[in-house]
Amino acid sequence: MIASLIRRHPYLPYVVPFGVFLALLGIAPYVLFLGRWEFPLRIAILIAVLWLFSRGAISLRVSNAAGSVVLGLAVFAIWIGPDLLIPGYREHWLFQNSLTGKLHNSISQELLTDRMVLSLRFFRAAVLVPIIEELFWRAWLMRWIISPDFQTVKLGAYSTKAMWITALLFASEHGPYWEVGLIAGLLYNWWMVRTKSLGDCILAHAVTNAALSVYVLQTGKWEYWL
C-alpha cells in the first residue's frame, strides 16, 4: 500500500518524515504525562516512518568524507561562535522576539540527569535529524523549487532561487538561531551542489549535530537543543 502511494506521490519519502518530525515537536507540550518514555516513543516513530517511507530514497554513500567532516565542524564553530565571543549576544531582540521565539530547554529539569533520555536525545540529533532534514531540504526542496517534477532534476543542480529560498526556510526552522541557521543552510546547500551527494550532506549535518550535542552535554547549555 505504501509502495503504491509512493509511486503516485514520489515526494512522500522526502516530505513525510520531516512532517512527522515537526508534528512530534508540536505536540511535545501536550504529552508531558509520558515523562521519560516520550523519548523512546518519538525515536521509534521516526525510525518507523523512515523505514516505511524513505528507505529507498536514503543514500549514505559518501564521496568526500574528510570534506564533509570539516564542513560539519566548521558549521558547529559558526553555530556557537557568536555566543562565545559576544556576551549576551543571543539576548538581543533580533534573535528572541515574538516571531523567532525564545530560548528554552526542550528537556524538563528532572530528566536532565536521565541517561536514557540524554542518550536518545543525542541519537536523535546526531543520526535521525540529519537524515530527515537532508532528505527534505537538500534532496527534495532544492530540486522541487527548480521544477515541481523534481525527479527530473539531478541532486545538486544549482539554482540561485533554490539556494536562497531553501536556506531562508532552513533558517526560520531554527528560531532564535536563525542567523547561524542561514549560514549553515547556505553551506549545506553549497555542499550538495559541490558533492551532488545526499550521503555527504547527511554526514556533514551529523558531524555538526554530534559536536553540538557533545558541547551541550559538557557545558549544560541545553538551549542549543531546540
Provide the pLDDT for residue 26.
94
Provide the pLDDT for residue 64.
98
Alpha helices in the chain (DSSP H): 2-8, 12-27, 38-49, 65-85, 115-123, 129-134, 142-146, 160-172, 178-195, 198-219
Provide the pLDDT for residue 132.
98
Provide the pLDDT for residue 184.
98
The angle formed by the CA atoms of residues 224, 163 and 213, to the nearest 5 degrees, is 20
Q: Is 30 exposed, middle or buried (0-12, 13-18, 19+ CB in 10 A)?
A: exposed
One digit per residue, pLDDT tens: the chain, 226 residues?
Answer: 899 999 999 999 999 999 999 999 999 999 989 999 999 999 999 999 999 999 999 999 999 999 999 999 999 999 999 999 999 999 999 999 999 999 988 899 999 999 999 999 999 999 999 999 999 999 999 999 999 999 999 999 999 999 999 999 999 999 999 999 999 999 999 999 999 999 999 999 999 999 999 999 999 999 999 8
* Contact (CB, 8 A) for 124 and 46: yes
Rounded to whole angstroms, the Cα distance separating 25 from 213 reads 18
Torsion 47-48-53-56 (CA) sign: positive
Tell me the three-class secondary structure of 47-60, residue by residue.
HHHHHHHHCCCCCC
The domain ranges of the chain are 61-224
> How far is residue 12 from each of residues 83, 124, 140, 173, measured CA to CA in Å?
37, 21, 10, 20
Q: How long a stretch of residues is the chain?
A: 226
Write the DSSP symbol of residue 106: S
Rounded to whole angstroms, the Cα distance separating 115 from 111 reads 8
Rounded to whole angstroms, the Cα distance separating 225 from 213 reads 8
What would you report as the CA-atom Rg of the chain, rounded to the nearest whole angstrom? 17
**What backbone phi and psi angles, to 5 degrees, belong to 97?**
-155, -175
